Amino acid sequence: MTGAQRARLMIRLAEIVERDISELAKVETRDNGKLIRDAEAQVAQLPQWLRYFAGLADKINGEAISDAHPNFFVYTRREPIGVVAGILPWNAPLVLMMFKLAPALAAGCTFIAKPSEFTPASTLEFAKRVDEAGFPPGVFNVLSSSARETGASLVAHEGINKVAFTGSTKTGGEIMRLCSDPIKRVTLELGGKSPNLIFADANLDDAIPSSVWSIYYAAGQSCEARSRVLVEASVYDEVVARFAEYAQQIKVGDPLDPETQMGSLISTAHRDRVHGFVKQGIEEGAVVVTGGGPGDGKGAFYRPTVLAHVDNGMTVAQEEIFGPVVTIMGFGDEKDAIEIANDVRYGLFATVWTGDPARGHRVARAIKSGMVGINMPYTAFPGIPFGGYKQSGFGRELSIDTLDLYLETKGVLFSTSPKPFNPFGL
């Protein structure tokens, strides 16, 4: 198909998804416990990504390289990489798939989505809309399975040309190994342990509620959760007290109730894992200011938890907990704050709260992470690159450059010399 034909289908799909936001969101919420209002907001983003990349589909051009050699006429072609396997986690199934599918379709690739064994339902529902939009059979495929081995078999399959993965750092490492034989292109969006720096000159009335949202949103099951809050010593006690006060006000409960602010964790097994980290934190010397145990009701609820007097060497300050648990640490000055913020193996997102814009930009420059928000806790808009430094992975999604990750560049050389190339003089 031409780029313009692909774009037309993508825009048709965007219209169908827009029509069915409420239905798709309900499936997502029932499957993974995400709040209905968050699921609706995420499904509402899908048409945006489709339209953004549809706009690029008919602008994929090579270039003429006229001056490489006097007797050469050279041009490049941009060709689709081929068959893409999208391996997906459970925490935001549709939106994380679309981060990969939209650029893949724009580039002219075909796509096999492998949803998480915990949350296949929304991807299967979405597939019906792809058919309705009129995509040819085989362009979009779903491989759902309750066996974890399925992901590895798909990645290792010689018919796959590229793997686009979102999930844990551990699985990302296994996928990278699998992509070495036979060799495949791979991009990895992995885990995080993102810092949230609060300087004493920040407007605390803005910084604290926003920081509370940045960890407890999606019950902490979000890769960019700002789970390490670093606070300047002079306001440490005030921030801890107010943080805990807000955490206690969060309405935890049925994710289908529009009033609920924090739903269930994905499973009771995951809740046990989260609680295990909290117990280890206490053993290592952290203090539970609020929360610290399961919530009431039928569901894998866990109470919004604040751990204070945390040292950066503790397990709770270094490991991704992926639950509603924040660690609050103190720092002395700007240099100290940057050192602690960077002293972790991840580098996905950081937030800096300060009343001094110059300090905000200085700190943003010094922090090793894919995204830094200055007095701004959110990302994931079309056109803004999303991805990690260090063990948070490589490759950027959501930006114009993302298209390159689904394209190969071919150089075509043509000799304009009157004599053909014949160095052996044969």
Question: Which of 62/385 has CB closer to ligand NAD?
Answer: 385
Both ends of the chain: CA-CA distance in Å?
44
Least separation in angstroms between CB 344 and ligand NAD = 13
Q: 171: closest CA among 191, 157, 153?
A: 191
Q: How many Å apart are CA 403 and CA 142, to the nearest integer? A: 22
Give me the residues that bind ligand NAD (CB under 6 A), please: 87-91, 96, 114, 116-117, 148, 151-152, 155, 166-168, 171, 174-175, 189-192, 223, 320, 322, 348, 388, 392-393
Beta-ladder partners of 164: 86, 187
Beta-ladder partners of 389: 347
Least separation in angstroms between CB 151 and ligand NAD = 2
Question: Which of 240/398 has CB closer to ligand NAD?
Answer: 398
Active site residue 283: no
Question: Which of 48/194 has CB closer to ligand NAD?
Answer: 194
Q: 194: closest CA among 336, 314, 92, 341?
A: 341
Question: Which of 90/217 has CB closer to ligand NAD?
Answer: 90
Q: List the beta strands (DSSP E) in 120-191.
A: 140-142, 162-166, 185-189
Catalytic residue selected from 109, 125, 179, 223:
223
The encoded tokens of residue 372 equal 């830094």
Q: 352: closest CA among 361, 340, 339?
A: 361
Active site residue 109: no
Least separation in angstroms between CB 276 and ligand NAD = 15
Q: Which residue is nearest to ligand NAD (CB)?
A: 151
Least separation in angstroms between CB 236 and ligand NAD = 27
Question: Which of 48/91 has CB closer to ligand NAD?
Answer: 91
CB atoms within 10 A of CB 68: 11
Question: Which of 18/174 has CB closer to ligand NAD?
Answer: 174
Q: 354: closest CA among 323, 325, 376?
A: 376
Least separation in angstroms between CB 141 and ligand NAD = 15
Our CA dihedral for 120, 125, 126, 132, rounded to 10 degrees, sits at: 150
Least separation in angstroms between CB 194 and ligand NAD = 10
3-state DSSP assignment of residue 333: coil
Residue 322 backbone dihedrals phi, psi, to 5 degrees: 60, 45
> Which residues are annotated as catalytic?
189, 223
